[in-house]
Structure 1
Amino acid sequence: MSNSYLESVIKQFQYYKSLGDKTFEQLSEDQIFYTLNDETNSMAIIVKHIAGNMLSRWTNFLLEDGEKEWRNRDQEFENSFITKKEVIDYWEQGWKCLFDAITPLAIDNLDKIIYIRNQGHTVTEAINRQLCHYSYHTGQIVFLGKMLTNEKWQSLSIPKGNSKQYNQEKFSKEKTRKHFTEDL
């Protein structure tokens, strides 16, 4: 494996963070806390869970189990936020922890065994596990944002009905090697 994996995975994490950021920008304070019923989570709760997971998984992750004793996962599903700013600040705290942990990694780190709940993972496996987890929940945030803003939603990808135009623009350029997020 080469450095291209680390560069790519960091860009992927940045991309999913940006989807959440762009969703939050479109929402009111009330919308951040909206729940359909008692069995669903608001975006605030989803953020609390993602950031709580990030803080646990990535704090001293090369030396300590990723499920920290101080983490209380069940409380992540109980709202303690009052404002949208608190939600976004916690979101930022979680992502900072993740990026501070993975940005300095080198190729030599990728095969090291680390633990999450006493289950051994290579660093690569742990990164992939969390990338999937965070993209899953970010998708929930985006879906809720689209539902709540309805016709006011500003697309975060290719808007409906614009695929042909988007593809024409892409195929009108020379082939290049770069990460897909560089054009967003």
Structure 2
Amino acid sequence: MTAVAELYLRDVRERMAEIRHLGDRALSQLGDGDWHRYLADGGNSAAVLVQHLSGNMHARWGGLRGGYRPDHEGEPASRDRDAEFEEGRLSPAELQACWDEGWAVFEGALEHLTPEDLTRTLTIRGEPHTVLSAIQRQVAHYSGHVYQLVLIVKTLRGDQWQTLSIPRGESVAYTAEVQAAQAAISDPHDQR
């Protein structure tokens, strides 16, 4: 069981680093005036999503940066969740810092969790969860919001958008490149 838990923690750390990197690359394409733009009335801007993600990361994981604590509450009374959805409060530089700080908290907590922690209990809004369940809940939550960010930025950038994945029409070339790299790893003496 420990080997599976170690594999899970390693995988979730890697996957969430990829999700963060995806968000980093999308946010890097925003102009200063784009952070607070939204696509439809009642929608969220990139700024609001950044504020909310950071607030959630601090609330859920801030107390676990040094490792598991049995008394951790993932929704502290000090959190003002509604303020995270207020528009126009922060500059682009402040939002970038907010983004970086939130991810540092989440990644720091993940780094300190052990395989044994995954079956331990923590609470969110007074509701008990295993640490594993809380991580899975946040993986879905954070990924969803990062993909919202990607959609917002892609829509705002229009034809100036720089793709974050395999460009259209280049799937075959990409696959061939990946396969060639894997073959070189498998046979380092291959002189192709």
* Contact persistence 2:38–2:152 (CA under 8 A): no
The residue number in structure 2 matching 1:49 is 52
Quick one: distance in 2 between partners of 1:26 and 1:59?
A: 29
Partner AA of 1:130 in structure 2? Q
Matched, 1:164 2:178: no
Quick one: distance in 2 between partners of 1:78 and 1:158?
A: 35
Q: Which protein has the larger Cα radius of gyration, Structure 1 or Structure 2?
A: 2
Deviates more, 1:165-174 or 1:26-35: 165-174
Deviates more, 1:16-25 or 1:79-88: 79-88
Give the TM-score of the pair, scaled to structure 2: 0.86
* Contact persistence 1:81–1:87 (CA under 8 A): no
For residues 1-184 of structure 1, the aligned pairs below 5 Å read 1-61=4-64, 62=69, 63-172=71-180, 173-174=182-183
Percent sequence identity over aligned pairs? 35
Give the TM-score of the pair, scaled to structure 1: 0.90
3-state SS, counterpart of residue 155 of structure 1 = coil
Count of aligned residue pairs for this structure pair: 177
Q: 1:31 to 1:80 in 2, by over 3 A?
A: closer
Q: What's the Cα RMSD here?
A: 1.7
For structure 1, list consecutive stretches of 5 or more residues without a partner in the other structure: 178-184
Quick one: distance in 2 between partners of 1:121 and 1:176?
A: 41
Deviates more, 1:136-145 or 1:6-15: 6-15
* Contact persistence 2:48–2:84 (CA under 8 A): yes
